[in-house]
Structure 1
Amino acid sequence: MNVRKAIIPAAGYGTRSLPITKVLPKEMFPIAGKPAIHYIVEEAVAAGIEEVLIIVSRNKNVILDYFDRSLELEAFLAINNKEYLLEKTTLPKVHIQYIRQPFARGLGDAVLLGERFAHGEPFAVLLPDDFFVTGGGVGALEQLVERFYKTGKSTVAVQKMEKADLHQYGVIKPGQAQSGEASDITDIVEKPKVDPPSDLAVCGRYVFTPELFSCLHSVLPGAGGEIQLTDGIRSMLKTSPCEALEVKGTRFDLGKEEEYYRLIEHYLKNR
């Protein structure tokens, strides 16, 4: 079955980027003239996604406005003979839906809100904090989708990281290595404080079979008192296989100021 649907959780408070995130969601941080979430949706479309569900909260209405038409702007440009600027307002060609996460109960809870949207199909998850530049190659999500079509297994994107940084991420314990730089996941730990199971950190791109939802239903609050997606994956491993794929490309964490600036610098140099 094709991966046609993607969930983008965008309901968080963005506390790492305060104070600007009091008024501007981090998903709307500008990168070379477009908000970050625009690139994330484009990545999904490039991977064959036809429908996107964006999980928002009460203070994220600007995301809905961005992906809507502005009739006032179009009329203004027409009156002033500036229709040529309309191409700058072109949006990714994909059907977008929205749902609110009423309480900040964690990433796992946000993904669970997409159960009806997925409707029993395999689906992707893209975290807008994680931004990938693949240098004109295959996008991060597309790499996962291609792997899923070969195996039919849930697939999680990982990259090697320094041990000092692993406590900030979910970290997998790899099992038997498969072809194509993928390996079976035997365990996964959310933000390990000591003794991480490997140097492979989960980095914001996933393709799941619908079995994940039943596992998330049974997950208890974990790290930070939240429903963790990592714990849902860990539960799923008991009954369904899951692979980790080392995705090719440079990853930027938009929640880290220095990485955000480096990403802008990259786009300015390569416009």
Structure 2
Amino acid sequence: MVKKAIIPAAGYGTRSLPITKVIPKEMFPIGVKPAIQFVVEEAIESGIEEILIVVSRTKNVIVDYFDHSLELEAFLEKKNKTHLLTKEVVPNIQLYYTRQPYARGLGDAVRLGKLFVGNEPFAVLLPDDIILEGKKPAIKQLIEEYETHGHSIIGLNKVAAEHLHKYGVIKGKELGAQMYHVMDIIEKPKKNPPSNLAVIGRYVFTPSIFSSLELLNPKEEEEIQLTDAIKELLAKEACYGKITDGKRFDIGSPDDYISLINMVYQKGV
């Protein structure tokens, strides 16, 4: 059973500068909730019981957000507004935090969760990607496939050819039911992408991914790419991909972010 998840939230958010100089992109408001709350709620709804959030030293606001505010609670009680505490956001699961000292890429952020994960399968959810309106939460869809196949599984989305250079793209053998056996994966292909199947920010990994991450030896100042670790993993064991049900929004894209806000307000998600 997959009961642990890692949420990497330590990046600079360069696509959304200049606002990310002072506000982490994970805290961008979507209605009255920040983006990261949607992702934490998705994990909880999918049966996750422990979450490690990887932050940087400039993102303490994320830690504060998921903590109790004793002053606020006392103020609301004094003003007879304790009904507002029903909007409390402190999740009823165990949250852990660790810092990524340097922004060395997504692979490095996941690597920091090795001791937290131990010898268990685990989920990874990227708060850049908000996935709504699926029949089930996106990460739950992957967890269920993991429990069927027993191998790592990557969330996928069909993407128009002109946008494939922004994503990791797989070469896969179709198995039916939106499932693929992943044969290869390329990070942001500049030309000749192997398919139109782009990786989205949802994964379920076996602990073997940590061995693959440790095999990588990037040059100084180069990022440790999770895509490269997945490529190493493919040489050792099977890996699957699944097109997840639901609408995906990339909050680093202004168009997606505005569309997401409009949908949340219109539908009260």
1:13 maps to 12
Number of the residue aligned with 1:238: 235
Match of 1:162 in 2: 160
CA distance in 1, matches of 2:86, 2:46: 23
Deviation at 1:32, TM superposition (A): 1.1
Question: For residues 81-123 of structure 1, what are the alpha-carbon distances to aligned partners after superposition, in whole Å with 9 as ceiling and x for unaligned?
Answer: 1111111124332210000000111100000000000011000
* CA–CA separation in structure 2 for the residues paired with 1:249 and 1:82: 36
Distance 1:188 1:219 in 2: 15
Displaced runs of 4+ in structure 1, greater than 3 A?
A: none
| 1:213 alignment partner in structure 2 | 210
Structure 2 CA distance for aligned equivalents of residues 119 and 191 of structure 1 = 30
List runs of 5+ in structure 2 lacking aligned partners: none
1:145 maps to 2:174: no
Are 2:245 and 1:248 equivalent residues in the alignment?
A: yes
Question: Aligned partners of 2:217 and 2:163: how far apart in 1?
Answer: 26
Residue in 2 aligned with 1:171?
169
| 3-state SS, counterpart of residue 186 of structure 1 | strand
Q: Is the 8 A contact 1:221 1:228 kept in 2?
A: no
Partners of 2:175 and 2:91 lie apart in 1 by 34
Question: What is the CA–CA distance in structure 2 between the aligned matches of 1:21 and 1:34, rounded to whole Å?
Answer: 17
TM-score (norm 1): 0.96
Contact 2:66/2:89 (<8 A) preserved: no
**Structure 1 residue 134: deviation in Å?**
2.1
- The percent identity for this pair of structures is 55
Separation of aligned partners in 1, 2:89 and 2:132: 21
One-letter amino acid of the counterpart of residue 140, structure 2: E
Q: Distance in 2 between matches of 1:181 and 1:265?
A: 28
Normalised by the size of structure 2, how large is the TM-score?
0.97
Aligned-partner Cα distance in 1 for 2:89–2:16: 28
1:118 aligns with 117
* Cα distance in 2, alignment partners of residues 186 and 270 from structure 1: 39
* Equivalent in the alignment of 1:269: 266
- 1:65 paired residue number: 64
How much has 1:204 moved relative to structure 2?
A: 0.5
Listed as ranges, the gaps of 5+ residues in structure 1 are none
Deviation for aligned residue 1:30: 0.7
Does the CA-based 8 Å contact 1:170-1:190 persist in structure 2? Answer: yes
Distance 2:110 2:13 in 1: 17
Paired with 1:217 and 1:150, the residues of 2 have a C-alpha distance of: 28
Whether the 8 Å contact between 1:134 and 1:140 is mirrored in structure 2 is: no
Match of 2:128 in 1: 129
